[in-house]
Chain A
Amino acid sequence: MREAKAVNLRNKTNVVGWSFIAIAVIMICAFYFYPMIRALLMSFQSGTGTNLSYVGIDNYTRLFSDSTFITTLTNTFLYLIVQVPIMIVLALFISVLLNDKDLKLKGFFRTAIFLPAVTSLVAYSVIFKYLFGADGLINAMLLKLHLISVPIQWITDPFWAKITIIIAITWRWTGYNMIFYLSALQNIDNSIYEAARIDGASSFKQFTKITVPLLKPIILFTSITSTIGTLQLFDEVMNITKGGPGNATMTLSQYIYNLSFKYTPDFGYAATVSYAIVILIVIFSILQFKLAGDRND
């Protein structure tokens, strides 16, 4: 009798509990997992518009001989390898500076550095395009200061266009990452630093031996989100250089866009390229977890 009641009660709690999360689960299934599976199926099809037919793994083998895909992949990796470390180090450096107790106008500096993160991607991209134009402000400034004698082709030269993109995304995202470090820094007990100072550790030693190890989970988090963000880079490149000159700055995401909307649509192959990004993101995330030696699940 009593046992039956207990089972009944447990069932009830279970039902109530499950019904609370049911809505979220159904929503996630409908808007995440279902499209994911459909996209996976689609990545095995090819054809124009609605005339899709199954082609097996043809799309995946096509990736390896597709020079545009390889160029966009190289570009994306270049952004990743050059930009992410610069940004992470910069954000770490700025956050340590801003965390200084004796700093005046702290609020002002924090706001100023975080502000780029609230601007719209498209809006800032368009402004960067004009700043870095051949007759833009940056060139005018450099010319007036006699640092250069001819205007740098920031947008139309393959090398400089990449630099422009890297400068733009660094400007946009450094403040965003800095906020994570700042909040983590404020959680580090000041007594640890006090103890270090008593032991005679220099500021640099404190930074490398205390700050960095304690920030490790956050550094891992920001580097993973930045990696994912870079692999999905689209707005900036689309608006500043349109992927050009040629395809010197084109990213994977923009290639997907072109395959679906600029050229005669081949949604199947576009889905394949999307899955290539998924695979890359998974590999990189695992790699970063392993490198950081973090066993927390």
Chain B
Amino acid sequence: MKKLLPLLVVCVMIFTACASNADNKNENAGAGNAGGETTKVTVWAWDPNFNIKAMNFAKDTYAPDHADVTIDIIENAQNDIVQKLNTGLSSGTTKGLPNIVLIEDYRAQSFLQAYPDAFYPLTDVFKTEDFADYKIGPTSFDGKQYGLPFDSGVTGLYVRTDYLEQAGYTVADMQDITWDKYIEIGKAVKEKTGKDWISLDPNDLGIIRVMAQSAGSWYLKEDGKTADIAGNAALKEAMETYKKMMDANIVKIHADWSQFVANYNNGDAASVPTGNWFTPSITAAADQAGKWAIVPLPKLTNNEKSVHASNLGGSSWYVLNVPGKEKAADFLGATFGSNVELYQKLVTEIGAIGTYKPAAEGEAYKAGNEFFGGQKIVTDFATWTAEIPKVNYGMHTYAVEDIMIVEMQNYLNGKAIDQVLEDAQKQADSQLK
């Protein structure tokens, strides 16, 4: 042991020396590269049927005029992207990282603030006023625009019209309702059809976030750093509404995405308030064509600020501050930043609704959808997108959510709501620094 210790110390010293040498070398190499032209632009994104497809369309529109740039699109699971970015950026070596990366809006601030200078500002690449207001907050930091807003997470309420009719209601009864009314109709549907009204995952409080944002409120205060839980009226009402649903026995529980989709495709659940990106999952059950409608999101019953529009998920494109950033920024600006045609294609081919306002004037946005009985769903979603209250998702959405999930269980098990919120606030305060 006595001999081992000096040996260790020596080894550590050698390696510290090696490591710092290596750092120097890398920096030199990086500087050398920046001088020459990099023509390969690498893109990381998840979901081959949605984001990757969209990126491929963008690539196709850009490629003919830009022979000097090759776009290389690589599919990675979202968790893997988050993990790779975190390890890559924190180690300080940008080698192996892409030029363009897709980041979920809820997480964007955590990257922008945790790794200053890691991203390339896109302020001059596109006009922020062309995009939905609510997207700009999460994608910018310190007065600079870093993200190019991509898909809208605008929410709507998907509902089975045939089950509604069996319970004595019509789609007209579902327009612009409150969550209390929603639960009331749900009870009737459950009674008449035996089908559950909604499918929820106790580990994912997406619906709470949707309700809170509909009232312009979030887990965090305006600054994006302080938890806003105790005394948050919207959050409190959202949780109470959640419990009412559970108590009304109209909820089917699922534990993962595939069960969630299956509950609707099998006809076991009758309505789902969620983001518009859920449309392909609904239309996947071809035998249910004509049996679905999309109505505006219900609003909180007792909150005046609550509107019939909210957001769930959604992501934006970011350019990393690595060689090739100018080309990457130019590519994004020319495609997602200004190409109305591209957005029409995204709607017709993928069903992806962007947040680029001029795109709403296009033909594809005005077409009816046969699956939903000819309803002009894209127009509806685009209208609701404009109404989404702007909130700051801040840096700690997922950290607070995990605290809320636990406290929600306590609440459902009988703990008083005010105590629940206070305890959650205390935990969040000690955890968020």
A204 in the interface (beta carbon within 8 A) = no
When A50-B90, A246-B202 are in contact, do A265 and B433 touch as well, CB less than 8 Å?
A: no
Whether A261 contacts B402 by the Cβ 8 Å rule is no
Whether B12 contacts A65 by the Cβ 8 Å rule is no
A263 in the interface (beta carbon within 8 A) = yes
**Measured CA separation A104–B110 after assembly (Å):** 61
B203 in the interface (beta carbon within 8 A) = yes
B303 in the interface (beta carbon within 8 A) = no
- Total contacting residues, chain B, CB less than 8 A: 40
The residues of B that contact A172 with a CB separation of less than 8 Å are none
Q: Which of A26, A34, A241 has the most CB of B within 10 A?
A: A34
**Measured CA separation A246–B409 after assembly (Å):** 7
Question: Which of A25, A62, A65 meets B11, CB within 8 Å?
Answer: A25
Whether B7 contacts A25 by the Cβ 8 Å rule is yes
**Measured CA separation A37–B402 after assembly (Å):** 31
When A158-B409, A260-B86 are in contact, do A242 and B203 touch as well, CB less than 8 Å?
A: yes
**Chain A residue at minimal CB-CB distance from B80:** A261
**Chain A residue at minimal CB-CB distance from B111:** A49
The residues of B that contact A68 with a CB separation of less than 8 Å are 402-403, 406, 427, 431
Q: B residues 84-129 with Cβ under 8 Å of A?
A: 86, 89-90, 92, 110-111, 113-116
Whether B202 contacts A156 by the Cβ 8 Å rule is yes
A44 in the interface (beta carbon within 8 A) = no
**Which of B30-38, B334-342, B370-378, B391-399 is near enough to bind chain A?**
B391-399
**Measured CA separation A245–B406 after assembly (Å):** 8
**Measured CA separation A58–B403 after assembly (Å):** 21
Question: Which of A33, A50, A248, A263 meets B89, CB within 8 Å?
Answer: A50
**Chain B residue at minimal CB-CB distance from A247:** B406
The residues of B that contact A155 with a CB separation of less than 8 Å are 255
Whether A265 contacts B255 by the Cβ 8 Å rule is no
B230 in the interface (beta carbon within 8 A) = no
Whether B8 contacts A261 by the Cβ 8 Å rule is no
Question: Which of B12, B114, B253, B405 meets A50, CB within 8 Å?
Answer: B114
A49 shortest CB reach to chain B, Å: 3
Question: Which of B79, B113, B403, B433 meets A261, CB within 8 Å?
Answer: B79
Question: Which of B89, B115, B405 meets A246, CB within 8 Å?
Answer: B405
B369 in the interface (beta carbon within 8 A) = no
B251 shortest CB reach to chain A, Å: 11
**Measured CA separation A158–B410 after assembly (Å):** 11
- Against B, the Cβ 8 Å flags (1 = close, 0 = not) of A55-95 are 00000001001111001000000000000000000000000
The residues of B that contact A13 with a CB separation of less than 8 Å are none
Whether A34 contacts B110 by the Cβ 8 Å rule is no
**Measured CA separation A29–B114 after assembly (Å):** 30
B24 in the interface (beta carbon within 8 A) = no
Whether B83 contacts A261 by the Cβ 8 Å rule is yes
The residues of B that contact A264 with a CB separation of less than 8 Å are 110, 113-114, 395-396, 399
B60 in the interface (beta carbon within 8 A) = no
B82 in the interface (beta carbon within 8 A) = yes
A258 in the interface (beta carbon within 8 A) = yes
Whether A134 contacts B409 by the Cβ 8 Å rule is no
- Against B, the Cβ 8 Å flags (1 = close, 0 = not) of A129-171 are 1000110000000000000000001011010000000000000
- Total contacting residues, chain A, CB less than 8 A: 42
- Against B, the Cβ 8 Å flags (1 = close, 0 = not) of A240-278 are 011111111000000000101111111100000000000
Whether A30 contacts B90 by the Cβ 8 Å rule is no
**Measured CA separation A247–B406 after assembly (Å):** 6
**Measured CA separation A246–B92 after assembly (Å):** 34
A51 in the interface (beta carbon within 8 A) = yes
Whether B256 contacts A129 by the Cβ 8 Å rule is yes
B175 in the interface (beta carbon within 8 A) = no
**Chain B residue at minimal CB-CB distance from A51:** B114
Whether A245 contacts B114 by the Cβ 8 Å rule is no
Q: A residues 19-59 with Cβ under 8 Å of B?
A: 25-26, 29-30, 33-34, 37, 46, 48-51
B430 in the interface (beta carbon within 8 A) = yes
The residues of B that contact A33 with a CB separation of less than 8 Å are 8, 11-12
Whether A263 contacts B256 by the Cβ 8 Å rule is no
B419 in the interface (beta carbon within 8 A) = no
Whether A29 contacts B89 by the Cβ 8 Å rule is no
- Against A, the Cβ 8 Å flags (1 = close, 0 = not) of B1-24 are 000000110011001100000000
Question: Which of B396, B406, B430 meets A263, CB within 8 Å?
Answer: B396
When A30-B11, A37-B12 are in contact, do A265 and B253 touch as well, CB less than 8 Å?
A: no
**Measured CA separation A284–B282 after assembly (Å):** 52
B348 in the interface (beta carbon within 8 A) = no
Q: B residues 222-254 with Cβ under 8 Å of A?
A: 253-254
The residues of A that contact B409 with a CB separation of less than 8 Å are 158, 245-246, 248
When A133-B259, A155-B255, A261-B83 are in contact, do A46 and B433 touch as well, CB less than 8 Å?
A: yes
**Measured CA separation A261–B408 after assembly (Å):** 23
**Measured CA separation A248–B413 after assembly (Å):** 14
The residues of A that contact B396 with a CB separation of less than 8 Å are 263-264
When A134-B255, A264-B399, A265-B86 are in contact, do A65 and B430 touch as well, CB less than 8 Å?
A: yes
A157 shortest CB reach to chain B, Å: 9
Question: Which of A37, A243, A265 meets B110, CB within 8 Å?
Answer: A265
Whether A265 contacts B12 by the Cβ 8 Å rule is no
**Measured CA separation A31–B342 after assembly (Å):** 49
> Which B positions have Cβ atoms within 8 angstroms of A?
7-8, 11-12, 15-16, 79, 82-83, 86, 89-90, 92, 110-111, 113-116, 202-203, 253-256, 259, 395-396, 398-399, 402-403, 405-406, 408-409, 427, 430-431, 433
8 CB < 8 A contacts A-B: A129-B255, A156-B253, A243-B203, A245-B405, A246-B406, A261-B79, A263-B110, A264-B114
Given A33-B11, A134-B255, A264-B114, 6 more pairs with CB closer than 8 A: A29-B11, A48-B113, A50-B89, A134-B253, A263-B398, A265-B90
Question: Which 5 residue pairs across A and B have the least CB separation, nearest first?
Answer: A49-B114, A29-B11, A264-B110, A244-B203, A246-B406
